[in-house]
Amino acid sequence: MKNFLGRVLSTIVGNIATFSIFGLLLFALIIISSISSVKPSVKKGSVLELTFEEPILESSMDQEVSVFSISTPSTFYLDNILKAIENAKTDDNIKGISLKVENFKGGLTQASEVRKALEDFKTSGKFVYSYSNNSTQLSYYINSVADSVFQNPLGGVLLQGMSSEVMFFKNAGDKYGVDFQVIRYGEFKSAVEPYFRTDLSEENKLQLNVMLGDIWNNISKDIAKSRKITDNNFQTITDSLYSYIPEVGKKHRIFDQIIQESEYDDFIFKKLNLETNKSKINSEILAKYTIGVEDYYNTLNSNDNSNKIAVLYASGTITEGDGFDGIQSKTYVKAIREIEKNKNIKALVLRVNSPGGSANASEEILFELSRLKKTMPIVVSFGDVAASGGYYIAQDSDKIFAQPNTITGSIGVFGMIPNAKELVNSFGVTTDVVKTNANADQLKSIFNPLSDDATRLMQKSVVLVYEKFVNHVAKNRKMTFDQVNKIGGGRVWSGTSAKEIGLIDEFGGLNNALAEAAKLAKIESYSTESFPKRKDSFEELMEKIQGNNIKARIQSELGTDAAKIFQELKIMNEQKGIQARMPFEVKIY
């Protein structure tokens, strides 16, 4: 009886505590949303400072609503950054730009777009200077566009080139009794190599070498040109890690001056022609003439033109379902239909940043886009990655833009069903089956191997999906089946190579795609509207608290490591069935 009363009491106390927390969260959200922000202003003779200390988001779909955070969702995106830099070029109040980029948290194509915007800004004759303590390779890629690069005496930059490391699980599967049953189409479709090999295949090494070579060639040429270094000398600097020691880096033209940050601030102070005040230190005066990029953007007038171009942001893994975690097919089908019904929308730009995923979900999204294309132009803009399913959904468009460093292609398909029978048997767990038909236990259980019938069925399904994929590409890119098949087979390409072989049309970013969409829609001025429309942040938060976000619950109960394991298992589970997914992940630091 005492135990029963104790359990009842603890339940009541727990519920009271839970509702108290929810109440506090609700109260905090209401307070935050009710605070009106004061619109910033720009003093004449100011410097625009870029630091990029926060992740670079492209749309609200990149935001993660967390039960551990009640901060106001960001409404500041890459497009806003580019518009701010473009406006500063002709703004008489802005004398120049100061870059303090140390840990750029965006992707390579985002860095490329920012860098191009800065190069365009420099044509105004205004200054661009940069300073860093310790910066990543990608941060230096942006900083190197400056007129002069200033470096902290005890900091450095690790310019080292690019590499890709792939982890393999076959030996672990053999050791613990898991048979990864894999069926794929295309010798380059290496997404499943880690499950049946212990090293890279020759085909995978070839595509990695070509792709990384293309991307590094683009990056290194941009840096070498800005720093007035020959290509050969820059490769020597990179191979020798000269940039890691400031004085050595300066000797080889990576840096112009080695000074402390306060000395750099004094330098900017003088460039702005500010006057010293005996009652204030220079840095205090400089702060009043320094404006961040988000504050600066908020001083600009918004464009509410009645002619609209919809931007459909497709970021993350493609899966079946209805939600805002990645690209869930039902959510995107609804968004496309919403765009079609809006009479003010004259064109669509599909912004893709996805390694692919479910073949079925990709087909669902492409089908809806093909219906939409009958009513308006569709232009595609590729971000860092538009591969496999990410490339698939772009195949009913008028034009495809990508950056030279975009990772794309991967026209290939695979299927995988793990068999963990031996693993569970080793724990003393056995299974038995009663079935009405010969293959009633196939393609769903992880405790038995694929039968010959199931294997043949999977192989046929993979071939059918691959052929459908190739036919979509052939139709959209105006090629023959054989021409696409020759550059398909699951092979991944850089944007540079993709343009050469006809997988994309032009180099350019989101703004180029918008300009092309406006041209095709025959409209001169327009405003943009982003899709899909997310739910109210509090509504999403409550859904996650109620159990929709299993990962967050696992993290809160068992810790970060358990959540990471869950994520890996989730990815493995998502790869059951027919997949159009990129074979590896490439991160550039």
Active site residues: 189, 388
Closest Cα partner for 308 from 277, 338, 352? 338
Q: How far apart are CA 463 and CA 442, in angstroms?
A: 19
**Token code pair at residue 115:** 């860098």
361 three-class SS: helix
- Beta-carbon neighbour count of residue 343 at 10 Å? 8
* Helix (H) or strand (E) run with residue 151 in it: strand 148-157
Q: Measured between alpha carbons, how far is 287 from 304 in angstroms, rounded to an integer?
A: 33
What is the rounded (10 degree) CA torsion for 9, 10, 11, 13?
90
For 129, the token pair is 């200077």
Task: Please state, in angstroms and as integers, the Cα–Cα distance from residue 274 to each residue in 43, 318, 400, following that order.
Answer: 12, 53, 47
Confirm if 144 and 225 have CB atoms less than 8 A apart.
no
The answer, yes or no, to whether the previous bond of 355 is cis (omega within 30 of 0) is no
- On whether the CB atoms of residues 218 and 162 are closer than 8 A, the answer is no
Pinpoint the alpha helices (H) of 478-559: 481-487, 495-500, 510-521, 537-543, 550-558
Q: What angle do CA 164, 165, 170 make, to 5 degrees?
A: 140
Backbone phi and psi for residue 417, each to the nearest 5 degrees, phi listed first: -135, 110
CB 585: neighbour CB atoms within 10 A? 10
Contacts 24+ apart (CB under 8 A), 570-575: 571/317, 572/418, 574/317, 574/319, 574/357, 574/358, 575/191, 575/192, 575/416
Which helix (H) or strand (E) segment holds residue 384: the answer is strand 378-387
CB 256 within 8 A of CB 250: yes
Cα–Cα distance between 589 and 586 in angstroms, integer?
A: 10
Long-range contacts from 136-139, C-beta under 8 angstroms, 24+ separation: 136/102, 136/103, 136/104, 136/589, 137/588, 137/589, 138/104, 138/108, 138/111, 138/588, 138/589, 139/52, 139/101, 139/102, 139/103, 139/104
